[in-house]
Structure formats: structure tokens, C-alpha cells
């Protein structure tokens, strides 16, 4: 199951939550009941081998 990152809109705390891809996104924090928003993070990708351009140093 994927891990999603959510941010509490009241105190700004971030937390990870395991849920299925088909599940609806959380709207409230499971413990505090505060409203939350989903945080979108970039997916790390590094292509190795001949023919790929590398932006890492």
C-alpha cells in the first residue's frame, strides 16, 4: 500500500498515512479531527546507463 503525506491545516504538522490507491483522500486527521490537505511530493527517478542525461553531480 502506498504512503501518502498529509498536512494538518490547523497546526501545520505533516504525517504519513498508509491507504489504498482506490481509497478517498483524507479530509480530517484520524486522531485530532483537524482538517487536512494532501501534500504532493516529487517522485525520485534516476536513469543510469548510456544514452541517458544525468542532472546529478
**pTM greater than 0.85 (yes/no):** no
Cα 16 from chain centroid (whole Å): 7
Return the higher-pLDDT residue of 33 and 48: 33
Residue in this structure with the C-alpha cell 486522531, named with its chain if needed? 31
Cell of 48: 543510469
Is residue 7 packed enough to be buried (19+ CB in 10 Å), middle (13-18) or exposed (0-12)? Answer: middle
Tell me the residue range of the domain where 56 lies.
Answer: 1-57
Question: Tell me, what's the pLDDT at 16?
Answer: 95
CA 36/CA 19 separation, integer angstroms: 15
Task: Provide the domain count of the chain.
Answer: 1
Q: pLDDT tens for residues 37-48?
A: 999 988 877 777
Amino acid at each position: 500500500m502506498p504512503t501518502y503525506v498529509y498536512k494538518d491545516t490547523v497546526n501545520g504538522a505533516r504525517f504519513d498515512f498508509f491507504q489504498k490507491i482506490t481509497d478517498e483522500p483524507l479530509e480530517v486527521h484520524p486522531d485530532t479531527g483537524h482538517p487536512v490537505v494532501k501534500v504532493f511530493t516529487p517522485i525520485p527517478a534516476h536513469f543510469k546507463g548510456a544514452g541517458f542525461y544525468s542532472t546529478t553531480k
